[in-house]
Each structure stands twice: as C-alpha cells, then as structure tokens.
Amino acid sequence: MGNKLLTFYVGESLCGIDIAQVKEITRKVEYTEVIAEDDRLIGLMNLRGQVVTLVDLAKMAELPLQERRETYCVVLKEDKKRQDAAGFFADNLGEVLEIESGLRKMPPLREGRTQLAEYVVQREKDLILVFDVYKLLNKA
C-alpha cells in the first residue's frame, strides 16, 4: 500500500484507505436499494453511467455502528479482479496524510476492532484503522 491515506470517520472510528484506490468522493447521492443475501451490500448507485456497488464498510470492518450520517460517498476505482466498482459511505472526512512506513503497525490479532484492518497508524491522540476495502469484500 502506498503512503498517502485518505482518512475519514465511520461513526466514531477514524479510518483510512490508500488514496490511490479512491476514484472520487461525492456528497451523498441517490441510490437504489438492493436486497441481497449478502447484507454487506447496501445498494447500487449511478455514477455518470457506471454502476457502483455500495457496501457497508462498518459491517465489513465490524466497526461499532452508531448513528450514521452518511454524508459522503467514497467511490473506489475498479477492482481489478472483478472489474466492478464499489463505494462506501463515510460520515465525515479527515485529512489526507502522508504516512511513513515506519509508523505502520500490524494490528494485533484478536483485538476487537482492529483485527480486520490492514494495519494501524498510531498517532499522538488517535489511532487510524487502515482498510483494504476490496480485500474485505472479496473475502466472503
């Protein structure tokens, strides 16, 4: 994973993803709900002619779910394996951070909310959980 992270909030959790994976960020748009057996799927969105699958990052990453404001939609670039694009909702956006590899730490296993993350970044006041969304999605 690269060095630049997009940070954002899902509920109270501060998360990050490699900015190279991000296609664009839009304010919440209309989408069509989809009923699927996989409850991580929220629905489908029309992005200028392309169909984007909206997924529930909170569910996938097992983050504590509080009220979701879902202000922003982060659309990712296409998953190379499947050629489909996915996106998820973020409640708030943080900064774009440059992370030196030295600051990365692998999450200890079995510790609640960090275990599905790719790695974590420990800062003075907070902890950033960095996820690889497609990896999580392709798991099940």
Residues that bind another protein (CB under 8 A): 30-38, 41, 44-46, 49, 51, 53, 55, 79, 82-84, 86, 137
**In what helix (H) or strand (E) does residue 23 lie, and over which residues does it extend?**
strand 22-27
CB of 30 to another protein, least distance (A): 7
Smallest distance, another protein to C-beta of residue 22, A: 18
- CB of residue 113 to another protein, shortest distance in Å: 24
Closest CA to 74 of 59, 60, 53: 53
Nearer residue to another protein within complex by CB, 8 or 40: 40
Return the number of the residue (48 or 125) whose C-beta is nearest another protein.
Answer: 48
Task: Name the burial class of residue 59, with classes exposed (0-12), middle (13-18) and buried (19+) by CB atoms within 10 angstroms of its CB.
Answer: middle
Helix or strand (DSSP H, E) at 54: strand 50-55
Least Å distance between CB 58 and another protein? 17
C-alpha distances in angstroms, 55 versus 37, 75, 82, 110?
Answer: 13, 10, 15, 24
Taking the least distance from each CB to another protein, the nearer of 26 and 32 is: 32
